[in-house]
Amino acid sequence: MGGLRAAEALRRFGYTGAITVIGDETWAPYNRPPLSKEVLAGEVVSHETVAFPQRSSTADVGWVLGHRVVSADLDNDTVTTDDGEVFEYSHLVVATGLRPKRQVYPNNIHSGRHIIRTLDDAMGLRDELQPGARVVVLGAGFIGCETAATARKLGCDVTVVAPGTVPMLRPLGNELAQELQRRHEAQGVKFLMKRTVSDLVGEARINAVALDDGTELPCDVLIEAIGSLPNTEWLEGNDIDIVDGLLCDENLRAKTKTGLSWPNVWGVGDVVRFPNRIFDDVPRRVEHWNIPSECAKYVGNAIATGEAGEAFRPIPSFWSDQFDVHILAFGLLALADSSRLVQGSIDGDCVFEYYRGDQLVGAAGIGLRSVVQGYRKNFES
């Protein structure tokens, strides 16, 4: 999505030069949020259903799909793909995103193990989520909990295993996270918190997982949702800061190891670590759905006009659908050291505000969508 939105923004703001977008997936850009919900549930059966529409303004964009960029020479303005082809550029937009973390176990069986990042991942998992299947979800973040909800609705026996105290604690805070766990449990999802998987049990295929307390949990399908890693290895060997993602300045220009900025290397999306003055000057990666589009709009305008303009100050936003619960949030909730219920009831529709000291850093709600959307104005300059 970051690459597509960058191409669209370049054309919208008047860039007339050639644009090439390189991606390792064979599919044209598509919407990822349905992967853990509608795709797994079988409501989405093809790429066309989740594909982003291609606009006439980008009909001349050159798409190089199914090939991965393996190296870059930033001093000489080139990148090289896995088939050895070298591409020259005047501007390089880094929108390589993330990949799921994978655990390595003593008995490192592969059959029956799944991740969810791509359309192929979701389609490969979908056929295994049959009624009665014993599903273990490793990880209790949004992807883990959304997948657990979908699997449970499909009739699977679902257990979430995670080291934290409650699911989704970091983005939602303890009180709202506890309520989400209660609602999951009311639907039959089981949680084993403060636990990790120490090994896999089985020969050709997983039939159980061994937990760190010595117990074994029957398992037909293991879904690993334990976080992500930024795809920046292809930039190694250059004077560029790729510690925990691509470090960029306030104008989304990539930074050197000595703190200078590359004039023609830009970052887009959740691979980027950037400062946001709405909150402070600390560079962070933000894995929210709206960030690639906001980055792409800013970078496209800067390249097309030759002017970066004011500092990049996006308002992070995310949503999550789990069973009949719709969560919407604005801000950076994970920065908060306190939260409080300001509207509604915790066991119904509700809105929470999130504070770092006295600073409002976010708001989230179950339902009451218009109320939560009203918090955008608190972050607009």
pLDDT tens by residue, the chain, 381 residues: 999 999 999 999 999 999 999 999 999 999 988 888 888 888 877 899 899 998 898 999 999 999 999 999 999 999 999 999 999 999 999 999 999 999 999 999 999 999 999 999 999 999 999 999 999 999 999 999 999 999 999 999 999 999 999 999 988 999 999 999 999 999 999 999 999 999 999 999 999 999 999 999 999 999 999 999 999 999 999 999 999 999 999 999 999 999 999 999 999 999 999 999 999 999 999 998 899 999 999 999 999 999 888 999 999 999 999 999 999 999 999 999 999 999 999 999 999 999 999 999 999 999 999 999 999 999 986
Integer Cα distance of 74 and 237 in angstroms: 9
Same fold, 2-99+229-305 and 102-226: yes
Question: Residues 38, 58: contact at Cβ < 8 Å?
Answer: no
The pLDDT score that the predictor gives to residue 381 is 61
The pLDDT score that the predictor gives to residue 41 is 84
Coil, strand or helix at 149: helix
Q: Where are the domains of the chain?
A: 2-99+229-305, 102-226, 324-378
- Ramachandran angles phi, psi of 173, nearest 5°: 80, 160
Integer Cα distance of 92 and 79 in angstroms: 9
Q: What is the pLDDT of residues 147-189, one digit of tens each?
A: 999 999 999 999 999 999 999 998 899 999 999 999 999 999 9
Integer Cα distance of 53 and 219 in angstroms: 39
The pLDDT score that the predictor gives to residue 232 is 98
C-alpha pair distances (Å), 324 with each of 96, 116, 142: 33, 21, 15
Q: What is the pLDDT of residues 45-85, one digit of tens each?
A: 789 989 999 889 899 999 999 999 999 999 999 999 999 99
Give me the residue label for tokens 């306190």. 338
CATH 3.30.390.30 fits 324-378, yes or no: yes
Task: Tell me the CATH number for domain 102-226.
Answer: 3.50.50.60
C-alpha pair distances (Å), 28 with each of 19, 21, 25, 335: 15, 10, 8, 35
CATH class label, 2-99+229-305: alpha beta
23 class by beta-carbon count within 10 Å (0-12 exposed, 13-18 middle, 19+ buried): buried
Helices (H), 23-162: 47-50, 119-126, 142-153
Per-residue tokens: 239: 């004077």
The pLDDT score that the predictor gives to residue 43 is 81
The pLDDT score that the predictor gives to residue 323 is 95
The pLDDT score that the predictor gives to residue 35 is 84
